[in-house]
Structure 1
Amino acid sequence: MTGIINGTASESSLPEEATEFLHSLASSWSDVTNKKTMRIVELKGAMTNKVYEIIWETDNIERPRKVLLRIYGEGVELFFDRKDEIRIFDCMSKHGQGPLLLGRFSTGRVEQFIHARTLSACDLRNPDTSALIAAKLREFHGLEMPSCETETVGLWEKLRKWTREALDKCSVNSQDFSLDSLEDEITTLQNKLARENQKLGFCHNDLQYGNIMMDEQRQSITFIDYEYSSHNPVAYDIANHFCEMAADYHTDTPHILDYTKYPGIEERERFIMAYMAIDSPDKKKARQVEIEELLQDIDKYTLASHLLWGLWGIISDHLNGAIDFEYMEYGRQRFQQYWIRKTTLLDS
């Protein structure tokens, strides 16, 4: 998960191999005025990795060289396979879907800097912006990705794996989160939600506002950060996006969620119509049953989203000590929302 707020950083805060690679990269550019003098801006709000904007002055003072440096968080390999992530990242670049990979090393990588604006929480509520996100998500779901555990639904096994990690590695009182009964909950959800006729696709799985960038001039959307991407029901990906509307990671209490901000039925329907490219009343009428089925599936898949990111919060609390975020309380809120909504959604 990633959000963006600027803050200065020093070269000494970077791993030595990152500094060496950045110096080597700058040396390959003839317009950089001083190869070893770079400005480092830490992009605050990242909750899995540490992310920096690296800037060099050039002969043209108005066009500095910029790259994005990503330093991997501690222990995050519990959540995803780094080799798969790099393979996906490279494939996404070839599809023209995200930044280019400029280089990597054992503790991180360097990416092309995208000259676009990272969205804010309120941007997700803008109807025009939301429609652009929906259309981009439809395109994303249709991508053909390389074989790297992306060709089968990854949600249910990931939930079970993270449940085992939470039970095995964390000292949290499992009774607070009902972890001991979570395997049964996951099986119930899978039996209730998984159907043969559901649309599947390559899903981002972490589509919060900090992972969405917008080119204002072109009115185009780019998704970034594919660590959690996998093949899943598209209803789950949209459900996860809707759940993220309850968050604002750029407040003094970024872990606090406000579920009164979960989109209402009209907002959800508008998103789905943009996602399905329905642009007239006649088209809407012809596909009304399909629209309603997808909306119902999305509502139910919010339960899986709550469990997954609740487990993420529990596990992350024991991994990411260097990142200032109340992971455990975040996880507690996601589990609380699951139990509040479970009966209503599954019985509907």
Structure 2
Amino acid sequence: MGDSTSQKQVLVDDVKSPINKVAYLPKDAKEILISLGKKWKNVLDPKAMEVITLKGAMTNEVFKVKWKTAIGETSQRVLVRMYGEGTGIFFNRDDEIKAFEFISKSGHGPRLLGRFANGRVEEFINARTLFASDLRDPSISALIAVKLREFHDLNMPGPKKAHLWDVLRNWLVEARRLASPEEVEMFHLDTMDKEISILEERLSNSHQKIGFCHNDLQYGNIMIHEDTKSLTLIDYEYASYNPIAYDIANHFCEMAANYHTETPHILDYSNYPGEEQSDDSKVEELLDNIEKFTLANHIFWGLWGIISEHVNNIDFDYKEYAKQRFQDYWLRKENLMSSNGSSHDLALEGEEALTPSTTPTKKSKRQGAKLKKFFSVGLFKSKRDSPR
């Protein structure tokens, strides 16, 4: 849990506001932190903590807390997560904590060090979160595939059924309640329940493998240890049982995002991975399902954006983000859901409309090997069987 000079967070220190934010933390959080500081013998003064805002979070406020230690020793650090306003709409915090503790005890995530009324204290992992460019690195994709297989196979408590469709309907109710009449019309919220029902009917079948899914596989939620190359998935707020094809679809959609630019809400679908035809029928079937589940993923995060626009004060253009997700949904829907259409050529037309300067066909050829490696190494082989 000690500091490391190699540790780099995509949730980066807010260099524009380097002020110690210790006064910003609630009293119950400070009490937990002081208690932790007392447990470490090398901490000079448990009450003399430094609290630094980490930039890059879009749902919660995240802080790095550290204490000075004896000369020659690295400082002690923890992560404090304060829940964003209105985020209780999206998930049950008690369920999230249960998942957090189970995953931690299974050796797949950071330890939970304490809970307070509006947040929690977590172990500060000696690793770095991925950067957007890392998702296009074939070697890292292979590691992600292996880690995803392990995560999907976790035997979490609770009913092992898809939660996606209930979540979409619940969020649609909230989006309609919060949205203005203009937004309801713009995002077709008055007819979106029909779209959800169509997707559920078409995508729910006995062939869909259900697993415990992360459901938010953006690059900032994946950490890598630079020396061992081991991965850790973090932040389980949206985690639940779902079709694993949906989880992979979410990960692929996140390749279009870079949340650490001057316009973090802008998506670049030229970075969505392409693929080459595979000789493995299981891979082909999964690819078809994944592409179709991108539609459900667009509705999921589109509704999230609409709701967040009204309840969250974090500096992020949620409405424009939602607009892009729904735009891609409507652009790709017809080709993806047609019974005779091929999901592989699909509708890169959606990408072309959103980013007309790109050349999707060339992008698809460039990234084909990466996707083949992603599936052949990770999704159908266990960690023991994969070539390392």
**TM norm. shorter chain > 0.5:** yes
Counterpart of 1:5 in structure 2 is 12
Offset of residue 23 of structure 1:
1.5
Find out whether 1:154 has 2:146 as its counterpart: no
Counterpart of 2:370 in structure 1 is none
Offset of residue 250 of structure 1:
0.1
Counterpart of 1:232 in structure 2 is 242
8 Å Cα contact 1:3-1:211 kept in structure 2? no
Q: For 1:248, which of 252, 258, 262 is the aligned residue? A: 258
Find out whether 1:15 has 2:26 as its counterpart: yes
8 Å Cα contact 2:172-2:303 kept in structure 1? yes
Offset of residue 57 of structure 1:
1.2
Counterpart of 2:284 in structure 1 is 292
Counterpart of 1:339 in structure 2 is 330
Counterpart of 1:66 in structure 2 is 77
Offset of residue 60 of structure 1:
4.6
Q: For 1:328, which of 310, 319, 331 is the aligned residue? A: 319
Counterpart of 2:174 in structure 1 is 165
8 Å Cα contact 1:3-1:249 kept in structure 2? no
The one-letter code matched in structure 2 to 1:320 is N
Show the 5 A alignment for 1:170-181. 170-171=179-180, 173-181=183-191
8 Å Cα contact 1:71-1:108 kept in structure 2? yes
Show the 5 A alignment for 1:186-335. 186-266=196-276, 285=279, 288-321=280-313, 323-335=314-326
CA distance in 1, matches of 2:70, 2:183: 58
TM-score by length of 2: 0.82
CA distance in 1, matches of 2:106, 2:286: 27
CA distance in 2, matches of 1:58, 1:173: 53
**Unmatched tracts of structure 2, length 5 or more:** 1-8, 342-388
Find out whether 1:120 has 2:136 as its counterpart: no
Find out whether 1:28 has 2:39 as its counterpart: yes
Structure 1, 208-217 or 165-174: larger mean CA deviation:
165-174
CA distance in 2, matches of 1:3, 1:344: 36
CA distance in 1, matches of 2:324, 2:117: 34
CA distance in 2, matches of 1:43, 1:255: 18
Structure 1, 168-177 or 125-134: larger mean CA deviation:
168-177
**Unmatched tracts of structure 1, length 5 or more:** 270-283
8 Å Cα contact 1:5-1:250 kept in structure 2? no
CA distance in 2, matches of 1:16, 1:229: 29
CA distance in 1, matches of 2:31, 2:294: 44
CA distance in 1, matches of 2:34, 2:12: 25
CA distance in 2, matches of 1:151, 1:73: 29
The DSSP-based 3-state class of the residue aligned with 2:198 is: helix
Offset of residue 4 of structure 1:
1.4
The DSSP-based 3-state class of the residue aligned with 1:246 is: coil
The one-letter code matched in structure 2 to 1:236 is Y
Find out whether 1:41 has 2:52 as its counterpart: yes
8 Å Cα contact 2:21-2:53 kept in structure 1? no
TM-score by length of 1: 0.91
Find out whether 1:88 has 2:99 as its counterpart: yes
8 Å Cα contact 1:11-1:40 kept in structure 2? yes
8 Å Cα contact 2:299-2:325 kept in structure 1? yes
Q: What RMSD over aligned residues (CA atoms) do the two structures have, in Å?
A: 1.4
The DSSP-based 3-state class of the residue aligned with 1:333 is: helix
Could you give the per-residue CA deviations for residues 151-210 of structure 1, whole angstroms, max 9, x where no partner exists?
Answer: 221000101110000011232520100000000000111111111111110000000000
Q: For 2:121, which of 97, 110, 120 is the aligned residue? A: 110
CA distance in 1, matches of 2:73, 2:316: 36
Counterpart of 2:140 in structure 1 is 129
Offset of residue 58 of structure 1:
1.1
Could you give the per-residue CA deviations for residues 49-78 of structure 1, whole angstroms, max 9, x where no partner exists?
Answer: 111111111115442111110001111111
CA distance in 1, matches of 2:139, 2:50: 35
8 Å Cα contact 1:215-1:221 kept in structure 2? yes
8 Å Cα contact 2:160-2:210 kept in structure 1? no
8 Å Cα contact 1:45-1:249 kept in structure 2? yes
The one-letter code matched in structure 2 to 1:160 is R
The one-letter code matched in structure 2 to 1:203 is C
CA distance in 2, matches of 1:233, 1:306: 16
The DSSP-based 3-state class of the residue aligned with 1:161 is: helix
